[in-house]
Chain A
Amino acid sequence: MNILETKALTKRYTPRGPAVLDKVSIALAPGKIVGLLGPCGSGKTTLIKIACGLLTCSEGQVLIDGKAPGIESKKIMSYLPDISCLSAWMRIDQVLDFFTDFYADFDEARALKMLALLRIDPKSRLKSLSKGAKEKVQMILVMSRNAKLYLLDEPICGVDPAVRDSIIKTIIARYAPEATVLISTHLIADIESILDEVICINQGAIMMQGAIDHIREERGQSLNEMCREVFACSAN
């Protein structure tokens, strides 16, 4: 069974407005790292938010492990938003308690280990951390869950290359073979090396979808080069 499936998913923010997502159908099998690639404003965040149940779709259907988004799906999916969603007044150890309280699959020991590895003091208050450190903390929290599906929205956007590397390392280090990771980004070159599959989206429509090796072989280009070409064509 697919861990994430969308069927003709359409989203309009206003009833007569343009479709931000236009009949998007994707299917993610378990055990893959999938890149959701597309330029800014292509519909990546909207797609992920609908899958999380944070936005409602205008038409179509989303299934997480065969079920509509709800309490059961939230138990098996771990979501990293593209914004800071933690309360700034909290200390990191308080946030760890919060996650321990609500998620049965949260591994606090692993989170503490990763924090130590990235030299972040668990007693620090979130408001005292830099933007990069906050993003690392959010990533650690999300990846410290033993979820079946990880939805990471722009995890490497807005941070310097050194932080990007540590975030990518965190993703790889925590990646369980049976879990699926969907990473949305427009910084393709940085994550190309870790992807199994890609979904290219632009102006709300799927442009391309498939295994990265197959696409590379077929086109004789790197993913970065190919995406530049695909997105440039669709923009013209």
Chain B
Amino acid sequence: MLGKLIKHEFKATARCFLPAFLVVLIFSLAGSFGQLVAPKLQDLSATFYIALYAAIILAFFTLPTVVSVWRFRHNLLGDEGHLMFMLPVSAASLIRAKIIVATVWQVLSLIVSLLATSLLALGSGGALMSFWSSIKVAEPLSETILFMTLIAFGLFGSMLMYYVSLAIGQLSNKHRALATFGAIAVIYAVSHVAALVLSGLVSVPERPNLLPCVILMVCLNIGYFLLTRFLLTRKLNLV
């Protein structure tokens, strides 16, 4: 059943992401082409293009989170929830399908943005090479792996944090949005204070220790998931 949920979630979300990918790639290609045919393109048009491109990229980076949160709220806690929660699947499967699809789109968005940057850099000749060579792997390798793990769990964690906040918000009959924002603020503050305290306790300024942060992130993610599952199983409130 999880596979079927994922399939339908992909179908629903692809309508937002595929056009966005296309727009970003076309804009990057247009920018690259513009640099090749009119390298001296000056002032107003260039400034306008850079501003527009920056706005598109900014919107593009926020898109996976926005779509993920909107889908969770709309598809599970809105009117469509009356269909989704009547499917013979567990609440855990519904959450897993959402988080898996959201993560895949996050990764694809990252790949597309790298591709878009490369396309844009193509027009500036050697700039592409200097861009890629500027990316270095930190030493030692274990630190890089830990850092990447932290980012990966951070991605999961940010989405699960929104999911658990929405699940808390739905408990309120009248002020759902307010309750959701309140939950986000409290969870965000508590998790960050915990991360700061933990890293302060185990790290020294010369050599930050990422392992406790990774462990904390894993624990938080498990906690967010279990709480969301509990609320959607035992405290569902689709008024």
Binding site for B on A (CB under 8 A): 13-14, 49, 52-56, 71-72, 74-75, 77, 79, 81, 83-87, 89, 94, 98, 101-103
Contacts and interface: CB of A to CB of B under 8 A. Distances in A.
A94 B87 CA distance: 16
B4 A102 contact: yes
B239 A75 contact: no
A14 B234 contact: no
Contacts of B86: 52, 54, 74, 77, 79
B236 A102 contact: no
Interface string B1-26: 10010011001100100000000000
B88 interface: yes
B2 to A, nearest CB: 12
B238 interface: yes
Interface of B: 1, 4, 7-8, 11-12, 15, 75, 79-83, 85-90, 173, 234-239
B236 A86 contact: no
A83 B11 CA distance: 23
Contact of B80 (A52, A86, A94): A86
Given A86-B80, A89-B15, A94-B11, 14 more contacts: A14-B173, A54-B82, A54-B86, A55-B238, A55-B239, A56-B236, A56-B237, A71-B88, A79-B86, A83-B79, A85-B82, A87-B12, A98-B8, A102-B89
Contacts of A72: 88
Contacts of B173: 13-14
Contacts of B238: 49, 54-55
